[in-house]
Chains A and B, each alone.
Chain A
């Protein structure tokens, strides 16, 4: 295999913010003592007056962002996914979702590929927590290019939004022209096939694409969907895929409870789709410290695991 070109979604976010700062004079950014990690520091350097360092105080940061948005600002808020959603849930609920303000939470360090910091920092419940909130849009971009586009769309769209990316560099999947037509709420068919559908989001899209290649060699053709928007979910695409192919596997760097897989299951069940189905993700447990690659291997989130799962479903 040739080496993959890598990119970092956090860097993509930070650089895009700087660009958007010029386009939107009303764009402001808040961070909670993690600007070096979330890359909002790039914006802070360019636009110090529009950057607010809030210290290690996430609840206060979230409500303050809502106050800024109530005065016509586009407020981007960043910290690690675990703190963004866990420390400020009530503030997100009341001041962002209930009040429908224009605050964009861009959380980094989602999922287990955070690695060595351990389970305290590996957020695997955020998509579930944000998905259950009325008025909230939930996004999980898969590579640096898509992240750029999604950050652009977040600034354009009105209303509260949550996006999460991981910590690590990830392979570049798309070139710029490919994501140009991306729409929030519309899944992207990245590869097509007839036997099974793999629906993935975030860091797992690349694993799904690798699985697609391996399966193809074994004579199994799969459709791979990049479901960058968890909410509103592209139900039509899910149902079309359930009719076109014989099995559906979802995969996400998140608990199998409440995230992408659960959302897809809800759509399938309520539409009486009779299809073989499996959610892949973290199986209702906290993980541990370790090298990201080893963790993904141990907890079953690699292309190899997807291949095994697809074959198992098709065999039944």
Chain B
């Protein structure tokens, strides 16, 4: 089991704040995009890329790299900000999100962006794609691990459950799925739109090893990732209990910020809040 010092965790938390600030600025400048689901996914993506996965920004096509697939493609800003911060491409690109003649498309495209593994945006594909990557890893005797992040609303898609069955059937223990369980989709609360509970039992019944954690507690997320990596003979899923819009008070649990970017005032307010959070964290280090 990997061990992280308190200081390391604090540093990751600080990075998560930085990523949230990028996201707010990116969406503000793009004047479109999805803040809620980007913000709720940040901590898990930060944990994966900065502390858990084996990957190399200088060699994004390394055949032995671990893979992260963002199945909920509308959270692209979170992925883009992390990739840029790691040096997969210049930070400057972040501020041309969704702009014509620029690389960063509204939803991830594997062909255009270094570090992006799969083209997503149409919900429901990512777990199947990840299964393919995991199967290839088994065939080739490689030790890489595949991580797929799904939205909870995304679980309405039938294809997700086709993939859930297949991953268990092929005993893909090199696969870890993660659900960003923020209880919101576009038309409202997931349990009102299309009941998902009991989610844990559903995945268990499909043959998955289920772990449930606070999706904003980076130490807990890292522990869960480790546990999932070591689970043999079956795929694992981490249910990340999250808050949509996490980190910006007026976006938190607010369905209206699913696909609406902040205006100038909202962006200033959001950045102020995140700056304060950053100072608090720094002071505690």
Q: Chain A residues in contact with chain B, CB under 8 A?
A: 28, 49-50, 52, 54-55, 57, 59-73, 75, 90-91, 93-95, 98-100
- Closest B residue to A60 by CB, please name it: B162
Any chain A CB within 8 A of the CB of B117? yes
Is the beta-carbon distance between B139 and A28 smaller than 8 angstroms?
A: yes
- Closest B residue to A71 by CB, please name it: B136
A18, B194: Cα distance in complex, Å: 45
Is the beta-carbon distance between A68 and B133 smaller than 8 angstroms?
A: yes
B30 to chain A, nearest CB (A): 21
Is the beta-carbon distance between B119 and A98 smaller than 8 angstroms?
A: yes
- Closest B residue to A65 by CB, please name it: B132
The listed residue (A68, A72, A90) touching B135 by CB distance below 8 A is A68
- Closest A residue to B131 by CB, please name it: A64
Is the beta-carbon distance between B159 and A99 smaller than 8 angstroms?
A: no
Is the beta-carbon distance between B166 and A55 smaller than 8 angstroms?
A: yes
Given A60-B163, A94-B120, A95-B118, A67–B135 Cβ distance below 8 Å? yes
The listed residue (B124, B135, B139) touching A64 by CB distance below 8 A is B135
Residues of A within 8 A of B133 (CB): 67-68, 70-71
B260 to chain A, nearest CB (A): 24
Q: Which 3 A-B pairs have the closest CB atoms?
A: A67-B132, A63-B128, A71-B136
A259 to chain B, nearest CB (A): 25
B112 to chain A, nearest CB (A): 10
Is the beta-carbon distance between B129 and A95 smaller than 8 angstroms?
A: yes
A60, B111: Cα distance in complex, Å: 21
Contact with A along B162-186 (1 / 0, CB 8 A): 1101100110000000000000000
Is the beta-carbon distance between A100 and B111 smaller than 8 angstroms?
A: yes
Any chain A CB within 8 A of the CB of B207? no
Any chain A CB within 8 A of the CB of B137? yes
A71 to chain B, nearest CB (A): 4
Residues of A within 8 A of B159 (CB): 57, 59-60, 63, 91
The listed residue (B118, B120, B121, B139) touching A70 by CB distance below 8 A is B118
Residues of B within 8 A of A52 (CB): 135, 170
Is the beta-carbon distance between B139 and A49 smaller than 8 angstroms?
A: yes
Given A94-B122, A95-B119, A50–B139 Cβ distance below 8 Å? yes
Is the beta-carbon distance between B122 and A99 smaller than 8 angstroms?
A: no
B59 to chain A, nearest CB (A): 15
Is the beta-carbon distance between B109 and A60 smaller than 8 angstroms?
A: no
Question: What are 24 pairs between A and B in contact, CB < 8 Å?
Answer: A55-B169, A57-B159, A57-B165, A57-B166, A63-B125, A63-B159, A64-B128, A64-B129, A64-B131, A64-B135, A64-B166, A66-B129, A68-B132, A70-B132, A70-B133, A71-B140, A72-B63, A90-B125, A94-B119, A94-B125, A95-B118, A95-B129, A98-B119, A100-B111
A125, B232: Cα distance in complex, Å: 45
Is the beta-carbon distance between A71 and B162 smaller than 8 angstroms?
A: no
Any chain A CB within 8 A of the CB of B130? yes
Residues of A within 8 A of B263 (CB): none
B window 242-268: CB within 8 A of A: none
- Closest A residue to B146 by CB, please name it: A67
Contact with A along B59-98 (1 / 0, CB 8 A): 0000100000000000000000000000000000000000
Any chain A CB within 8 A of the CB of B110? yes
A55, B161: Cα distance in complex, Å: 12
A72, B140: Cα distance in complex, Å: 10
Residues of B within 8 A of A61 (CB): 128
Is the beta-carbon distance between B128 and A70 smaller than 8 angstroms?
A: no
The listed residue (B109, B117, B130, B163) touching A98 by CB distance below 8 A is B109
B271 to chain A, nearest CB (A): 34
- Closest A residue to B136 by CB, please name it: A71
Given A66-B132, A68-B133, A71-B133, A91–B125 Cβ distance below 8 Å? yes
- Closest A residue to B128 by CB, please name it: A63
- Closest B residue to A70 by CB, please name it: B133
A160 to chain B, nearest CB (A): 12
A40, B251: Cα distance in complex, Å: 52
Known: A63-B128, A67-B131. 11 other contacts (CB 8 A): A50-B139, A59-B159, A60-B131, A60-B163, A63-B125, A64-B131, A70-B118, A71-B133, A71-B136, A98-B109, A99-B111
Is the beta-carbon distance between B125 and A95 smaller than 8 angstroms?
A: yes
Given A64-B166, A67-B128, A71-B137, A99–B118 Cβ distance below 8 Å? yes
B166 to chain A, nearest CB (A): 6
- Closest A residue to B110 by CB, please name it: A99
- Closest A residue to B121 by CB, please name it: A94
Residues of A within 8 A of B121 (CB): 94
- Closest B residue to A88 by CB, please name it: B159
A100, B132: Cα distance in complex, Å: 16
A64, B135: Cα distance in complex, Å: 9
Residues of B within 8 A of A71 (CB): 63, 132-133, 136-137, 140
Is the beta-carbon distance between A70 and B162 smaller than 8 angstroms?
A: no
Residues of B within 8 A of A95 (CB): 118-119, 125, 129
A291, B131: Cα distance in complex, Å: 41
Contact with A along B131-169 (1 / 0, CB 8 A): 111111101100000000000000000110011011001
- Closest A residue to B138 by CB, please name it: A49
Is the beta-carbon distance between A69 and B132 smaller than 8 angstroms?
A: yes
B228 to chain A, nearest CB (A): 19
B171 to chain A, nearest CB (A): 13
B235 to chain A, nearest CB (A): 13
